[in-house]
Structures are given as C-alpha cells and as structure tokens.
Amino acid sequence: MDTYSYPKSAELFGRATRVIPGGVYGHLGPAEGCYMPIQDYPLFTQRAEGAYFWDVDGNRFIDYMCAFGPNILGYNDPEVDAAAEKQQRLANCTQNPTPLLIDLAELMVDTVAMADWAFFAKNGGDTTAFAVMIARAATGRDKVVLTHGAYHGVAPWMQQLGSPGVVGSDVSNNLYMDFGDVARFERYVEQHKGEIACFLSTPYHHPVFDDNRTPPEGYWQRIREICTREGIVLAIDDVRAGFRLDVRGSDAYYGFQADLQCFCKALANGHNISAICGTDALKDAAASVMYTGSFWMSAVPMAAAIACITKMREIDAAEICLKTGTALTRGLRDVAKANDFDLSVSGEPSLWYMRTTAMDGVPDDNLLLHQAFVAECVRRGVFFTNHHNLFTNTAMTDDDITFTLEVADAAYKAVRARSRRILSPEI
C-alpha cells in the first residue's frame, strides 16, 4: 500500500511561519499535539467532497476529524450549499436581520427538546460564555462549577491558571470537579450556599489526552435535581456532541432537561454559526445581557443551518453516525487484536476516542505506539489525529469503513516493523 508525502504542504508551512504566529494556529495547527509526528500529516487542504478531502499535494483522505466536527452531512452537501448560495444572492450581512433569524429560531425550538428560545452567534465559545453570563444575570451569583479537563472554548476563564495569558482573577470564580462526581458537587453546594450561578458541562466527558467517560447511571438526573433545588442553572455544552447523539439535543439522549444548551459544530455543516437554546425561565435574563457581534445575524449561515437541521431530522443523522461509528470502532478493535495490539475505544461511537494501549501485552505508557499507528493511517489516506475525539458523518459508506480497516491493518503491521525504533528513538 503506497504512502503519501507532503512537499507542497511543507513549502506552504515554511511561508506561513514567516507571517502567521505558529504557522497554522490553534487546534488545526501542528503545535497542539494532535499532529504527531508532524511530518506525517498534511497541513493544507485543496478541496473537499462528501467524506473526503484532498490536500495541496493531491492526496485523498477519508476525514474522520470531519473538520473537527462541523462536517456531519458530508462536505459540500448539495441541499445545504444550495440554500446558502440562494441566500447569498439575496443578502448576507445587512443592517437588519433577515426573517431567517426567526425561521431558524422557530426550527431550533421545534427540534431541540428543551428549547423555548434560541440565540445565534458564531463560535462554540461565544455560546458557552453567554450561558455563564445568562446564569449570572438570572441568579445574581458569581461562581461556576466545571469539570476537570473539559473544554468550553478559549476565553481566559475557560482555561487553566498557568496557561499563557491567563491570570488568577480570570478563574477565581471557577470550582472544579471530576465528571460523574455527584458527591463533590453536593459538597460545593454546601460550602458555597447561594453562590453558585451555573453548572456547565459537556453531556459526556470528552477531554483530550484521556479516555472519554459516559455519564454513570442516574448521574444527570441527580445533577438536575440538585440544580433545581438550589436554584443553579444547568448548562450543557453540546458544541461537540450536539446532533450526533440525538437531533433533540444530548440532554434528551441522556434523559434529562438542561436549562441552557449550546450548539455549534454540526449546526450548519461547516457554515459559520452557533446557537444557544434556553427555557422560558431564562429568556428575560438572556435579553438583559449585552451580547452581540458584527456577523452574528448573517443570513447565509442561517439558511445553511435551516437546510442542515431539516435534513438531519429527515434522515436521522444521529442514528446514521452512531451506526457508522459502532461498525467502525468494532472493526478497528478487531484489526488491532489480530495484530496483537490492544486498542481502547471510549465515548460515544459517533464521536469516539481511541488509543493503542499495548503491543504483545506490553503497555504503551508514552502513547508512542498510538501516535505511530495514527501517522501510518494518515500516510495511507485515513485521516485520524492523536489524542482527540474522532467523528463520523452521514456521507461515509460501507466501502469507506472497509478501506479504513484495510489501512489500519497495514498501519499496525508497519508499526510492528518499526516498533524497536519507535520505542527507542535513540537507536
């Protein structure tokens, strides 16, 4: 099986580092640890279609990152793009919003089980920050309970003390607990009686560099009960998992009701929009907060979101993604076992997390074997990344799964052949 090389990506990256901090910044760049070893990954894309993208060197990849989540129907979905193009010919960013603002809000309220209203922004972090502001406006309280290792965006309060640019005052009102630790939440409630505005969490725990955890039995029902009793706003960051578990929202999937729920990635199949939905009890508080942006009412992404949500409902996109992910992850585990590797898969199948934990029963404590396995897959046309959730979309086919498993088999064989050098780089 042939392997790829990336001379044009390397040339472009050299140009980029001269004029852009980091060359390619943020989670799409090589500095975040998801692209290791760097030389085995493409860094620039030429085009994309369906389940695939092609890099600037002409290499084709099945994209299991799905643009880090936004691609849920397949790149360049015809219905979504047609709706966006039609609206672009009429108007996009204008002085007043178009009626699509109302149409999309009505569709969100009709789709998301807990929603009585909807508000639109651009990034997931816009909505999680707004959720905290709404909770504080509604309760008159300061403190927020978060879970260790969770990611809610890049604002200073969302990061850890000690991170560059983050100071103590940014995180002074944050309280942290392990996901699933109801007892810790109860203790915080007693220690900070009447001070906690919001409990903000992803619906299940999907950090980076760590196995994912689905909620323990009864966890969300107990958290809901405590928040209701104590007047704490329960906000769910559904930016990553939203619509891939249940089109009604991940709180509905896990059998509880959030007060606020944040969406972004899969909302418009790659068009730039995010949303927060809330209950009637928080509508006035949301209206009281000054919160807006120059492009937040742009009509083209709203047209795309309407088309995307409508199609996700019609085809049951969440069920397709879960089914694809289940078949794929089961097959990947079988391939690993056949090659005497252990592959751990955690989280939900439509946005799973995986790591190679051992070869021939010997643990991979430094993650080097897994990094090598992923890199070998990428060099053969299956785009995974290290240490982050992977995603499925509705454009992926049985043939794509078959090809992926063939590549995984070749990748594990290549890792075994190189294993002594991987584990002992000085040799």
Q: What CATH number did the domain enclosing 231 receive? A: 3.40.640.10
Residues 239 and 146 in one domain: yes
Count of domains for the chain: 2
Residues 225 and 306 in one domain: yes
Above 90 in pLDDT, residue 54?
A: yes
Residues 204 and 343 in one domain: no
Above 70 in pLDDT, residue 16?
A: yes
Q: Is residue 1 in some structural domain?
A: no
Residues 295 and 322 in one domain: no
Residues 141 and 274 in one domain: yes
In whole angstroms, what is the distance from residue 246 CA to residue 299 CA? 26
Q: Which structure tokens are listed for 289?
A: 């907060």
pTM score of the predicted model: 0.95
Q: Is residue 2 in some structural domain?
A: no
Residues 285 and 358 in one domain: no
Q: Is residue 138 in some structural domain?
A: yes
How many C-beta atoms lie closer than 10 Å to residue 287's C-beta? 12
**CB-neighbour burial class of residue 363 (10 A; exposed 0-12, middle 13-18, buried 19+):** exposed
Q: Is residue 213 in some structural domain?
A: yes
The residue-averaged pLDDT of 311-331 equals 98
Residues 266 and 206 in one domain: yes
What SS3 state is found at 22?
A: coil
pLDDT at 127: 98
φ and ψ of 356, to 5 deg: -80, 115
Q: 């939900």: which residue's tokens? A: 348
Q: Is residue 268 in some structural domain?
A: yes
Domain boundary among 315, 337, 363: 315
Say if residues 108 and 261 touch (Cβ distance below 8 Å): no
Domain boundary among 280, 315, 350: 315
Q: Is residue 68 in some structural domain?
A: no
Residues 37 and 102 in one domain: no
Q: What CATH number is attached to the domain comprising 21?
A: 3.90.1150.10
pLDDT at 423: 63
Work out the pLDDT band at 422, boundaries 50, 70, 90. low
Terminal C-alpha separation, the chain: 26
Residues 295 and 331 in one domain: no
pLDDT at 84: 98
Q: Domain containing 41: what range?
A: 7-63+318-423
Q: Is residue 69 in some structural domain?
A: no
pLDDT at 427: 43
Say if residues 238 and 203 touch (Cβ distance below 8 Å): yes
pLDDT at 94: 95
The pLDDT tens digits for 74-126 are 999 999 999 999 999 999 999 999 999 999 999 999 999 999 999 999 999 99
Residues 103 and 57 in one domain: no
Mean residue pLDDT across the chain: 95
pLDDT at 29: 75
Residues 279 and 336 in one domain: no
Residues 353 and 273 in one domain: no
Say if residues 202 and 240 touch (Cβ distance below 8 Å): yes
In whole angstroms, what is the distance from residue 122 CA to residue 188 CA? 33
Query: Sign of torsion, CA 136 139 141 147?
Result: negative
Q: Is residue 99 in some structural domain?
A: yes
Domain boundary among 266, 299, 315: 315
pLDDT at 175: 98
